Structure 1
Amino acid sequence: MGFIRGKGRPKKEKKPTPMDLLKLEIAEELGLADKIKREGWGALTSAESGRIGGIITQRAKRGLIDLDALRESK
């Protein structure tokens, strides 16, 4: 009988990073925030996740956000 790692253990709540907050803000704009809050980030389709990433990239190219600063502030 195999052991399934992590089964039965509650997940630790971690403090959201600035990048997490940005992703959630964009998800709200796309109408995905309820799905994420209810089922978690893993419930998103690859198209939905890609759309969020694409918007982050667009905003970075326009100079609206600083990706380096977001990545460094953990």
Structure 2
Amino acid sequence: MPNRNKAVFPGAQSALDRFKYEVASEIGLSNKIQTQGWENMTTREVGAIGGFMTKKMVQLAEQQLAQNNGVSSQLARSAGADASQGAAQESGR
């Protein structure tokens, strides 16, 4: 099955891939990936990697928000645009 996950920003995909391998190493799965490949990983293992990635990204975002004393106007605009785009897609426009 092809990977349908695409990075929002061009160039971020390689950083996300490196991050994925870093997280896999942290939770002790890098050897299995290297010897057996991603296609032979269990759903639980891949989910653990994705879940830990998400947790770390949320922590980073929270840190940045705390340092900036709240939500930046750029982030707020982006969230509003994403919500509008999602609503338009759901309505079939």
Normalised to the residue count of structure 2, the TM-score between the two structures is 0.48
User: Which of 50, 56, 60 is matched with 2:57 structurally?
Assistant: 60
Query: After TM superposition, where is structure 1 displaced by more than 3 Å over at least 4 residues in a row?
Result: none
Specify the structure having the higher radius of gyration (Cα): 2
More helix by share: 2
Q: Any unmatched runs of 5+ in structure 2? A: 1-12, 62-93
* AA in 2 matched with 1:43: N
Q: Any unmatched runs of 5+ in structure 1? A: 1-15, 65-74
Q: State the identity as a percent.
A: 37
Equivalenced residues, count: 49
Which structure has more RCO (C-alpha within 8 Å, separation ≥ 6)?
A: 1
**Superposition RMSD in Å:** 1.6
Query: 1:21, CA displacement in angstroms?
Result: 0.8
